[in-house]
Amino acid sequence: MKVVSISKSHGGLQGVYLHASEVCACDMTFAAFVPPQAKDGHLPVLWYLSGLTCTHANVMDKGEYRCLASELGLVIVCPDTSPRGADIPDEKDNWQFGCGAGFYLDATEQPYAKNYRMYSYLTEELPALVAANFPVDTSRQAIFGHSMGGHGALTIALKNPERYRSCSAFAPIVQPSTAGWSRPAFEKYLGSDEKSWRAYDTTLLIEDGKRFPEFLVDQGTADGFLQDGLRPWLLEEACKTAGIDLTLRMQEGYDHSYNFISTFMDDHLKWHARHLG
């Protein structure tokens, strides 16, 4: 693991790291904030998954999480959104697919299956790397994210409920198998058999019996993607039917940007901290 950069913030250390990923068959970058309490022992870890077109840097630069994370004693890990590099198959003119748009799944179709294995990367390889190199208590993990990353957080939590104590999301894509901006990517990554898509669709995972105790979701009412891409009412219906506790907060006048995310970031950190102990 190579240190790309590291700087002090709110008494802790904000670092960016590069490592060779066997799972994604390329170099991968991630950010990690370690608060000052780490000098006294291992701390709970909160994973943040970013949205379409983002890297690890977007939330690091605009998410405004370090002050409260330092107070609460939370390690925050921010992975990249996809594999990257000159040899990675991509559609450079398509912001909804390829680099920056990995959708947190394991692709099965060529030429994407070799590199686009973000689900395995985030549930196997990166957690092992973080556990070996940072002062984290792996018995206290939580996960959240934005948009495509909200989709990733929800699906990963549903499929690994024993690992995460809490899960939340900002404006998540709750049914990517039918949303216009994600359905084409699913077909390219996973093929034309839509039954295989269910493994990466929050509402369909719930329909198929996957469970998580509760979710917190914030959604802006002025979000331009609300009606066609995000559709939180579908998650609300699925959770109600399944008996999953969902706190869905429709935030009046907020859009899809980091102005929205940073406004409610503290609420999410406090919510996760209560669950993480």
- Residues recognised as catalytic: 147, 223, 256
**Rounded CA separation 127/79 (Å):** 10
Cα 82-144-224 angle, rounded to 5 deg: 75
**Rounded CA separation 166/181 (Å):** 27
* Torsion (CA) 151, 154, 156, 160 in degrees, nearest 10: -170
**Rounded CA separation 45/164 (Å):** 10
DSSP code of residue 29? E
**Helix, coil or strand: residue 190:** helix
